[in-house]
Every structure is written in structure tokens, then in C-alpha cells.
């Protein structure tokens, strides 16, 4: 699976741990930046990652900012991008299994490297449960997209 990663300056301190966690899974990695700590804007990175997901250039993404919240809000503005902030492994896998989450958002000021590794592993190991009730709900969500 191809995984895109993007972060702003607030998420940058956690980025290397996330990249390493992806490498550990054996999944293919697409690094969209930031590549240094400079003041920048999380919506730019959320859009960059979201467009990659929309085009099918990556199946999933991981977005990092200070809290994960701003990145999540911005990413969810893009049709077909289903992003959530997760600070626990249950949400990281359940969001994929039940809700077709395709972008994991993490806050570098909230989550440390060890927990980030566990969250990334749970997110990437999860698969959507192709059950009628989950499909029905996803279709309902899609109808809400503009």
C-alpha cells in the first residue's frame, strides 16, 4: 500500500518517527514535506496530501500538525478524504474498519514517538469491513459531501 505523509512545522518533530513506523510495515512511502522546521500553514499540507488521495496516487495518508485538529479539519474539506485525529489505537483501526477513514491525523504536541508508532501500525493494518451497515453509512456520508 502507498502511504502519503505530510506535516507543517508543528508536526515536524514527530515526522521522522512516523516515517520509520511506515517503513517498519513495509508499505511504500510518499513524503510530501515539510522538509524543515519553518513557519508554514497546515491547510497547504492537508490539501497536498488530500489531492494525492483523490488522484489515487496513495491509498492512505498521515497528516501531522501541532494538535492534529487543524490538519483534520482542512483534510475533511476535500471530497473523498476521510480524516480523523486519533490518540488511541482503537480509534486508529476502528476508523478504517467502520468509517473508511483514509487519513490519520496526529498531533506532535500531543502524541510521542512510541505512541505514534503504535497508532500508525494500527491504522495501516486495518481494513474496511465490507459489511452492509458500514457501506450504508459511508454512502450516507458521501451524500453530505458538496
Residue 83's CATH number: 3.40.1400.10
Tens digit of pLDDT for each residue in 36-78?
Answer: 988 899 999 999 999 999 999 999 999 999 999 999 999 999 9
Query: For this structure, is 9 an active site residue?
Result: no
Rounded to two decimals, the pTM is: 0.96
* Total structural domains within the chain: 1
54 is in which domain, residue-wise?
A: 2-144
Annotation marks residue 65 as catalytic? yes
pLDDT of residue 38: 86
Half-sphere exposure of 108 (CA within 13 A, CB side): 21
Could you say which of 7, 65, 86, 105 is catalytic? 65
Residues 97-112: tens digit of each pLDDT: 999 999 999 999 999 9
pLDDT at 15 over 90: yes
Options 7, 86, 87, 98, the catalytic residue? 98
The contacts found for 110-113 with CB under 8 angstroms, 24 or more apart, are 110/67, 110/68, 111/14, 111/68, 111/87, 112/14, 113/14, 113/17
Whether cis (ω within 30° of 0) applies to the bond prior to 93 is no
Tell which residue, 49, 51, 53, has the closest CA to residue 18. 49
The C-alpha cell that represents 126 in the structure block? 486495518
CB contact at 8 A, 21 and 116: yes
Amino acid at each position: 500500500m502507498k502511504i502519503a505523509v505530510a506535516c507543517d512545522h508543528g508536526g515536524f518533530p514527530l515526522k521522522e518517527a512516523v516515517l520509520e513506523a511506515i517503513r517498519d510495515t513495509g508499505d511504500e512511502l510518499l513524503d510530501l514535506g515539510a522538509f524543515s522546521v519553518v513557519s508554514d500553514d497546515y491547510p497547504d499540507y492537508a490539501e497536498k496530501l488530500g489531492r494525492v488521495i483523490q488522484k489515487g496516487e496513495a491509498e492512505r495518508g498521515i497528516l501531522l500538525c501541532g494538535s492534529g485538529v487543524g490538519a483534520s479539519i482542512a483534510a475533511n474539506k476535500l471530497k473523498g478524504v476521510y480524516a480523523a485525529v486519533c490518540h488511541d489505537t482503537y480509534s486508529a483501526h476502528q476508523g478504517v474498519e467502520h468509517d473508511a477513514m483514509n487519513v490519520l491525523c496526529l498531533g506532535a504536541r500531543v502524541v510521542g514517538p512510541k505512541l505514534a508508532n503504535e497508532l500508525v501500525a494500527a491504522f495501516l493494518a486495518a481494513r474496511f469491513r465490507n459489511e452492509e451497515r458500514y457501506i450504508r453509512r459511508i454512502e450516507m456520508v458521501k451524500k453530505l459531501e458538496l
